[in-house]
Amino acid sequence: MTSSYVPAPVRRKLRAESDRRCAYFRSSEAVTGMPLEVEHIRPRARGGQTTLKNLCLACHRCNEYKGERLEAPDPATGEIVPLFNPRIQIWHEHFRWSRDGIEIMGLTASGRATVQALRLNNDDIVVARHLWVAVGLHPPPE
């Protein structure tokens, strides 16, 4: 999490809006056991402000992997494209769950770039998703 101060009312609004789910990989804080952090969609280092329209909740890993990035290469074309913006884009238009509910599949250039850049299918999370699916906690409802 960045060191910028986010007022408590803004944090509460983010929690209510997100249903306490990571904006990028959509699993809930309760299922993952990972506390969510306030993430600047446009990083402060890139001119982003600490305002509701530039904030979302993300798990630590997504926040860390995103870092100061706004764009990344689309693995299908190599073209540099904007990363998914959870404030202005709809998750299911850019991503879907694999048939078994274990991996996130990018449907658009932005979705594919975000899956790769934020490592949404890293080895650790894939192992955890196998367990969550087995006990009926995954994939998350949309």
CA angle 111, 117, 123 (to 5 degrees): 100
Peptide bond into 139 cis (omega under 30): yes
Q: State the Cα–Cα distance between residues 35 and 136, nearest whole angstrom.
A: 21
CA angle 127, 102, 113 (to 5 degrees): 105
DSSP-derived 3-state class of residue 42:
coil
Q: What is the structure's pLDDT at 108?
A: 98
> Would you state the torsion angle of the CA atoms of residues 91, 98, 72, 54, taken in this order, to the nearest 10 degrees?
20
Q: 41-46, long-range: CB within 8 Å, 24+ apart, which pairs?
A: 41/85, 41/86, 41/87, 42/70, 43/2, 43/67, 43/68, 43/69, 43/70, 44/2, 44/4, 46/70
Q: Is 0.75 topped by the overall pTM?
A: yes
Q: How does DSSP classify residue 25?
A: T
Q: Tell me the average pLDDT across 97-115.
A: 97
Q: What is the structure's pLDDT at 34?
A: 86
pLDDT in tens, 48-105: 999 999 999 999 999 999 999 999 999 999 999 999 999 999 999 999 999 999 999 9
